[in-house]
Amino acid sequence: MSEPIGKKICQLRSDMKVAEQELAQAANMEVAQLKRIESGEINPSLTTLIKIARRLGVRVGTILDGNEHTNPVVTTKEEGRVLLNNSNGSGGERNNLNFLSLAQNKKDRNMEPFIVNISYSPEGAPTASSHEGEEFLYVLEGDVTIFYGNRRFDLSEGDSIYYDSIVQHLVTTPAPDRTAKVLAVTYAPC
Predicted TM-score (pTM) of the model is 0.63
Domains of the chain, residue spans: 5-64, 82-187
Find how far residue 91's CA is from the centre of its chain.
16
Mean pLDDT for 112-127 is 75
For residue 43, the model assigns a pLDDT of 81
In the predicted model, what is the mean pLDDT of the chain? 79
CATH 1.10.260.40 fits 5-64, yes or no: yes
Share of the chain above pLDDT 90, in %: 31
Class of domain 82-187: mainly beta
With b for 16 or more beta-carbon neighbours within 10 A and e for fewer, the 85-120 pattern comes to: bbbbbeeeebebbbbbbbbbbbeebeebbbbbbbbb
Rounded distance between C-alpha atoms, residue 190 and residue 187, angstroms: 9
Mean pLDDT for 115-128 is 73
Please report which confidence band the pLDDT of residue 80 belongs to, taking 50, 70 and 90 as the band edges.
Answer: low
